């Protein structure tokens, strides 16, 4: 059987789905538009693989970062880190904001009358695969009697080490900026990836007793099975540390700085009715 667990955001265990229509629409419900994960050799074709089964235990592993946007849970779970947020303020989601050290995936912003009062940076990391998931995709479509053809005998793997090391290095480059400004940065990951990071890197100093005073927070999420065979994203564990703690994970020294004014100006130029967090 195919190892695809979610195809264009729909559980492959779901009954009575019109998979041909789902394939034709190529829709991502989390982005509310066409899936942007395109095949390199055929840009008009969206791959649509959100989650796959991996290993002998067939662990459900999220491989698309947009899968973590379900119901805006990851943003709602960060509201408590907006320490200057007040009733009456608007909440905005701003994507792709550049700071020294790189770009931040999302900012959760508290604003009033177009002026930013507080913000939290949010980085999202899902698993990078090795090889190709395409044959599994085609195998699934054949199983559902949607498409037939030659299915290549190729497999995919999970690039655990590179995924974990890359995100930790990126955090190391960015966290000092947030700490200098007395702001928070949150890494959102699936539970299996955080578990790997805890085993393979120095995490003994990173506390599960999260502190608002810590600049760096880890939020791990599980995929839970629902009675209708779909999946539900659920907050599982939270950890926190500071810039020195992230550096210790890698045996490095942290560095970076930027003015608060520059970040506020960038955020205020990006917030609008379109970025409002809608519940």
Q: Note down pLDDT in tens along the chain; length 279 residues.
A: 899 999 999 999 998 899 999 999 999 999 999 999 998 888 899 999 999 999 888 999 999 999 999 999 999 999 999 999 999 999 999 999 998 878 999 999 999 999 999 999 999 999 999 999 999 999 999 999 998 777 888 889 999 999 999 999 899 989 999 999 999 999 999 999 999 999 999 898 998 889 999 999 999 999 999 988 899 999 999 999 999 999 888 875 444 455 567 678 788 888 998 899 887
Residue listed under structure tokens 């320490």: 83
Bridge-based pairing of strands 156-158 and 184-190 is unpaired
What pLDDT is recorded for position 101? 79
Nearest Cα to Cα of residue 222 among 185, 202, 195? 195
Burial category of 244 from C-beta neighbours within 10 Å (exposed 0-12, middle 13-18, buried 19 and up): middle
- pTM here is 0.88
Alpha-carbon torsion (160, 218, 99, 200), positive or negative: negative
Q: Is 32 exposed, middle or buried (0-12, 13-18, 19+ CB in 10 A)?
A: exposed
Rg of the chain's alpha carbons, rounded to an integer? 20
Q: Report the alpha-carbon distance of residue 186 to residue 3 in Å, rounded.
A: 30
Element of type H or E holding 7? strand 4-7
């Amino acid at each position: 059987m195919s190892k695809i667990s979610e195809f264009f955001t729909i559980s492959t265990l779901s009954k009575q789905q019109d998979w041909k229509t789902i394939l034709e629409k190529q829709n991502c419900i989390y982005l509310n538009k066409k899936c942007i994960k395109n095949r390199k050799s055929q840009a008009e074709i969206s791959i649509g693989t959100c989650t796959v089964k991996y290993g002998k235990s067939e662990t459900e592993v999220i491989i698309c970062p947009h899968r973590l946007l379900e119901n805006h849970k990851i943003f709602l779970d960060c509201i408590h880190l907006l320490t200057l947020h007040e009733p009456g303020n608007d909440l905005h989601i701003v994507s792709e904001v550049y700071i020294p050290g790189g770009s931040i995936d999302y900012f959760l912003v508290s604003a009033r009358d177009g002026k930013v009062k507080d913000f939290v940076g949010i980085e999202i990391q899902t698993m990078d695969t090795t090889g190709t998931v395409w044959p599994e995709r085609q195998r699934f479509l054949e199983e559902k009697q949607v498409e037939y053809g030659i299915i290549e005998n190729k497999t995919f793997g999970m690039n655990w080490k590179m995924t974990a090391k890359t995100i930790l290095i990126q955090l190391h480059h960015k966290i000092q900026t947030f700490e200098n400004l007395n702001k928070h940065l949150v890494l959102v990951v699936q539970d299996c990836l955080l578990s790997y990071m805890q085993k393979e890197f120095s995490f003994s100093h990173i506390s599960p007793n999260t502190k608002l005073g810590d600049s760096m927070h880890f939020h791990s999420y599980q995929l839970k099975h629902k009675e209708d065979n779909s999946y539900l994203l659920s907050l599982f564990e939270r950890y926190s540390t500071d810039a020195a703690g992230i550096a210790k994970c890698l045996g490095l020294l942290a560095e970076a700085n930027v003015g608060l004014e520059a970040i506020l100006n960038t955020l205020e130029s990006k917030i609008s009715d379109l970025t409002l967090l809608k519940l």
